[in-house]
Amino acid sequence: MRHFMFTIGVLLLAGASVLGQNANQQSAPKEIKSFDLDALDKSADPCNDFYQFACGNWLRNNPIPEDQASWGRFNELHERNQTILRNIVEKASADNGSRSSNDQKIGDYYFSCMDETGIEAKGTAPLKPMLDQIDALNDKAQLPVLIGRLHNRGVPALFAFSSEPDAKQSRMEIAGTDQGGISLPDRDYYLKTDAKSVEQRNQYEQHVANMFKLLGESPDKAAANAKTVVKLETELAKSSMDRIDRRDPNKVYHKMTTAQLQELSPVFTWKEYFTSLNGPTFDSLDVSVPDFVKGMNQLVATASLDDIKTYLRWHAVHSAAPMLPKAFVDENFAFYGKVLTGAKQLRPRWKRCVQYTDGDLGEALGQAYVAEVFPPESKAATLKMVHELEAALKTDITQLSWMTEDTKKQALDKLSHIDNKIGYPDKWRDYSTLTIVRGDALGNSFRANEFEFRRQINKIGHPVDRSEWEMTPPTVNAYYQPYENNINFPAGILQPPFYDAKVDNSVNFGAIGAVIGHELTHGFDDQGAQFDADGNLRDWWTPKDEAQFKEKEQCFVNEYDSFVAVDDVHVRGKLTLGENTADNGGLRIAHMALLDVLATTPQKPVEGFTDDQRFFIGWGQIWCQNVRPEMSRLLALNNEHSPGKYRVNGVVSNIPEFQKAFGCKADAAMIRKPACRVW
Ligand SMILES: [Zn+2]
């Protein structure tokens, strides 16, 4: 568990399930266009609404599919990748007796997940051993051992526990415990009193009751138990830290001894919890949110044993839902898909099963994916661009007018130490200790969770392995890791429309170039800038530069606070600050890098647009997206990325080169006054 990982995007899929149409229909992966003239709305004035100009026709021609909560360029590529992965797992699932160990695992995992008849026939029997363990709890003193068992199987009850790099000594993995134990997307869902929040909370309670009914409880009992779950989770929410405070790395770092942790929660015997994990021993750890531990203690002290068991039973069935019979899958979708994201239909089963295979066996599946789509030339081309972007950021920092020489020296040192990880890991994960049994869908999922949980806790006390990846190779995303000071680009995003060997530099620099610039800039946004060249949480700024930096960042907070996401919900300027800083800096340095490249390799005008125009359209078009109102609300409240429209208009309106490229007049909407700029 790393607290921070700064990504380029978000791909929230609509809920966790739907039983499938076209279950056995193979299809060829769809080609995706990088620079799409047909996507443009030429009737729109780029100086008035550039997003509409770059994406207008795309938005009109790409309605959101029924099984999606949003539909954008990220989704198009994700779907393409899923089709490729499907072909791989379907081939591997044919048990011909001579499969490699990895093929046996991904093939049988997928086969078991797809075996709806088998899952239906078993009913809830595969979950029974866990429910029996919960039922057998007859004294709160046994709770730590039971929680240890549940965590081991991936059931996130009461709190979170894992390994993490020590923020102030980031080469070492330490133990860490954090807030957790709730099932809505954020603490605020339990605490806010506006009509929409109250409505969603009631719908959640109804959903919990429906799940209990599916476990065989009477309607009255189920309704009472659902109330209990909401009550207990609300208590945990009350002592949880809010999302904006959690962005501050110092606020979620409290290293203490295990004895000090025990003092925070007298009724929960941590020693027994740790012993039950059967992992490395340790005597200190990071307690991210001490107030949460106190709140959790209070809950355990005051709630009845029966109420705690009810709460644990909910978490068990909620975690298992995707691999249980259809009634559970449908009910899970009815709330987490329909209510929370607005999706109309469950995604076909094969898509969900591909997603779970990727989630649980990602580096086994990823090897086959990489072999198919990511030749060495793609890796070399990306690396070349990364170096061009790094050179541009170096020039940018050197030329900054607001930063003093002392801080520049530190910033340049940090930049020079950023490691680049491209495509896939150098060393693939070894899954040999994970048993995948054909026909045991839920068992496979639990064993995979256990494999991952144990892999994480076994790191405690050891050096951080910086070669490890936190995303699987087919993922359409990228990230900067502040504890390791490295940037990571999975093969899944190094494809059209982000990177396309067939198009000109202008388009590629506007798309993947700006994505690379975005990740580099994360090392210097309001969070990343608190970590030094070696990934330690350490202030390397002079007080004067830090004050300037904060003032400049405030300009972004104000700008994005003014944008409306949906209805009366605004973009949250403080929540999205790091991402907005990265978008603005990233696009600016990508443009600088493009100019450097064009100086030595000029291009002819293409399709009637100048180099600069194609660059900005390239950026605009990776963010074309239609989003359902429910999903817009969910994202605005919880996600650190701004909506696509503002990732385009919010950024280009700060950039004079954009205004020049399209000849915008001084009073045009795409000329922001004052323009915000940090990097
Ligand atoms: Zn980002």
Would you place residue 605 in the very low, low, confident or very high pLDDT band (cuts 50, 70, 90)?
Answer: confident
Per residue in 123-166, pLDDT tens? 999 999 999 999 999 999 999 999 999 999 999 999 999 999 99
Q: Report whether 492 contacts 76 (CB < 8 A).
A: no
Side chain identity at residue 440, one-letter code: D
Q: What is the pLDDT of residue 350?
A: 97
Q: What is the pLDDT of residue 8?
A: 82
Q: Tell me, in angstroms, the distance from the centre of ligand 1 to residue 669's CA.
A: 25
Q: What is the pLDDT of residue 603?
A: 86
Q: Tell me, in angstroms, the distance from the centre of ligand 1 to residue 622's CA.
A: 14
Q: Report whether 512 contacts 494 (CB < 8 A).
A: yes
Q: Tell me, in angstroms, the distance from the centre of ligand 1 to residue 478's CA.
A: 8
% of the chain surpassing 70 pLDDT: 97
Q: What is the pLDDT of residue 213?
A: 98
Q: Using the predicted structure, report yes or no on whether residue 575 has a pLDDT greater than 60.
A: yes
Q: Tell me, in angstroms, the distance from the centre of ligand 1 to residue 524's CA.
A: 11
Q: Using the predicted structure, report yes or no on whether residue 219 has a pLDDT greater than 60.
A: yes
Would you place residue 667 in the very low, low, confident or very high pLDDT band (cuts 50, 70, 90)?
Answer: very high
Q: Tell me, in angstroms, the distance from the centre of ligand 1 to residue 141's CA.
A: 43
* E-state strands within 76-138: none
Would you place residue 18 in the very low, low, confident or very high pLDDT band (cuts 50, 70, 90)?
Answer: very low
**Contacts for 671-678: CB closer than 8 Å, 24+ residues apart:** 671/47, 672/559, 674/555, 676/552, 676/555, 676/556, 676/559, 676/584, 677/552, 677/555, 677/584, 677/588, 678/524, 678/549, 678/552, 678/553, 678/556, 678/581, 678/584, 678/585
Q: Tell me, in angstroms, the distance from the centre of ligand 1 to residue 453's CA.
A: 26
Closest Cα to residue 307, out of 240, 394, 234?
Answer: 234
Comparing 17-31, 493-507, 543-557, which segment has the lowest mean pLDDT? 17-31
Q: Tell me, in angstroms, the distance from the centre of ligand 1 to residue 34's CA.
A: 21
Considering all CA atoms of the chain, what is the largest pairwise distance in Å, rounded to the nearest integer?
77
Residue bearing tokens 């009910």: 331
pLDDT mean over 284-288: 98
Encode burial over 373-398: b for 16+ CB neighbours within 10 A, e otherwise.
Answer: bbeeebbebbeebbebbbebbeebbe
Element (DSSP H or E) covering residue 175: strand 169-178
Q: Tell me, in angstroms, the distance from the centre of ligand 1 to residue 415's CA.
A: 17
Q: Using the predicted structure, report yes or no on whether residue 335 has a pLDDT greater than 70.
A: yes
Q: Tell me, in angstroms, the distance from the centre of ligand 1 to residue 640's CA.
A: 8
Q: Using the predicted structure, report yes or no on whether residue 472 has a pLDDT greater than 90.
A: yes
Q: What is the pLDDT of residue 5?
A: 85
Q: What is the pLDDT of residue 2?
A: 76
Q: What is the pLDDT of residue 23?
A: 36
Per residue in 22-46, pLDDT tens? 334 456 788 898 889 999 999 999 9
Q: Report whether 679 contacts 673 (CB < 8 A).
A: no
% of the chain surpassing 90 pLDDT: 93
Q: Tell me, in angstroms, the distance from the centre of ligand 1 to residue 5's CA.
A: 8
pLDDT mean over 67-93: 96
- The DSSP code for 642 is P
Per residue in 367-385, pLDDT tens? 999 999 999 999 999 999 9
- What CA–CA distance (Å, rounded) separates 637 from 631? 10
Element (DSSP H or E) covering residue 293: helix 290-302
Quickly count: other Cβ atoms within 10 Å of residue 502's Cβ.
9
Q: What is the pLDDT of residue 17?
A: 31
Q: Tell me, in angstroms, the distance from the centre of ligand 1 to residue 530's CA.
A: 16
Q: What is the pLDDT of the chain when averaged over all its residues?
A: 95
Alpha helices per DSSP H over 239-289: 258-264, 270-277
Q: What is the pLDDT of residue 21?
A: 32
Q: Tell me, in angstroms, the distance from the centre of ligand 1 to residue 529's CA.
A: 14
Phi and psi angles of residue 164, each rounded to the nearest 5 degrees, phi first: -160, 155
Would you place residue 675 in the very low, low, confident or very high pLDDT band (cuts 50, 70, 90)?
Answer: very high
pLDDT mean over 244-273: 98
**Which residues are annotated as catalytic?**
519, 583
Q: Tell me, in angstroms, the distance from the centre of ligand 1 to residue 9's CA.
A: 7
Quickly count: other Cβ atoms within 10 Å of residue 141's Cβ.
12
Q: Tell me, in angstroms, the distance from the centre of ligand 1 to residue 7's CA.
A: 4
Per residue in 424-460, pLDDT tens? 999 999 999 999 999 999 999 999 999 999 999 999 9
- What CA–CA distance (Å, rounded) separates 333 from 173? 37
Q: Using the predicted structure, report yes or no on whether residue 20 has a pLDDT greater than 70.
A: no
- What CA–CA distance (Å, rounded) separates 652 from 616? 8
Q: Tell me, in angstroms, the distance from the centre of ligand 1 to residue 418's CA.
A: 16
Q: What is the pLDDT of residue 26?
A: 52
> Is the entire prediction scored with pTM above 0.85?
yes
pLDDT mean over 406-422: 98
Q: Tell me, in angstroms, the distance from the centre of ligand 1 to residue 641's CA.
A: 7
Q: Using the predicted structure, report yes or no on whether residue 607 has a pLDDT greater than 90.
A: no
Residue-wise DSSP of 58-74: HHHH-PPPTT-SEEEHH
**162: helix, strand or coil:** strand
Q: Tell me, in angstroms, the distance from the centre of ligand 1 to residue 470's CA.
A: 15
